[in-house]
Chain A
């Protein structure tokens, strides 16, 4: 059974940094790309970042370039997202998703909530 679980969310102050993690199992982890998607409260889905299966190529939403860093550990089966200089509009639920062929996201974690507020 495919399993993805995010962690690392919480209440943070503007300007701080945060590291989100996603642990996965139930599929050939090192053969799939992985993606982060976020959803602000009451809003739609926003693609954040995708990393290829080798972990040497990453793609980011234009508006997030420079503050977000995606990475993965194919030995530990984990996916990370570092977020720097957090802003109020980064407040959202962050989902990790399996990306088996770069064309769709078939399994998603339940999400981790990030709230940026002073």
Chain B
């Protein structure tokens, strides 16, 4: 099974400052078809997750452009260029290249 290791576990970021979250897997997440199915989701308390980024770097419609994803192979990063108050919550990476699917453990982001 693919383990997705997210770091940091938590982060306190000042309003308007950048934030970065890392996600690493021990096995390549490149699918046989050449695509890399790594996505990022954001969850606020009491709400379902919301998709931000899919296929490593594609922003889901409606997601602000301050969110960006990058990476390849086994190392991936979510960046927020300038955090806003609504960006508080928990961020998860997820791989859908291999079954069973797997999520990272989550990164809690607090806005100062």
- Chain A hits for B54, CB < 8 A: 103-104, 106
A62 touches B1 (CB 8 A): yes
Q: Which of A61, A103, A108 contacts B49 (CB 8 A)?
A: A108
- Chain B hits for A45, CB < 8 A: 41, 43, 49, 92, 94, 103, 106
Q: Which of A59, A103, A106, A108 has the most CB of B within 10 A?
A: A103
B60 touches A110 (CB 8 A): no
Q: CA of A29 to CA of B102 in the docked complex: distance in angstroms?
A: 24
A103 touches B96 (CB 8 A): yes
How many chain B residues touch A (CB < 8 A): the figure is 27
Q: Is B34 an interface residue (CB 8 A)?
A: no
Chain A nearest CB from B39 CB (Å) reads 4
Chain A nearest CB from B30 CB (Å) reads 12
Q: Is A46 an interface residue (CB 8 A)?
A: yes
B100 touches A61 (CB 8 A): yes
Q: Is B44 an interface residue (CB 8 A)?
A: no
Chain B nearest CB from A49 CB (Å) reads 9
Q: How large is the interface on A (under 10, 10 to 19, 20 to 34, 35 or more residues)?
A: 20 to 34
Chain A nearest CB from B74 CB (Å) reads 17
Q: Which of B48, B55, B92, B97 contacts A108 (CB 8 A)?
A: B48
Q: Is B15 an interface residue (CB 8 A)?
A: no
A103-B35 in contact given A44-B106, A108-B49 (Cβ < 8 Å):
yes
9 pairs, CB–CB < 8 Å, chain A vs chain B? A44-B103, A46-B103, A47-B103, A103-B54, A103-B97, A104-B37, A104-B39, A105-B41, A108-B50
A contact set with B: CB distance below 8 Å: 35, 37, 44-47, 50, 59-62, 95, 102-111
List 8 A-B pairs, minimum CB-CB distance, nearest first. Answer: A104-B54, A108-B48, A103-B37, A47-B101, A104-B39, A45-B103, A44-B106, A59-B99
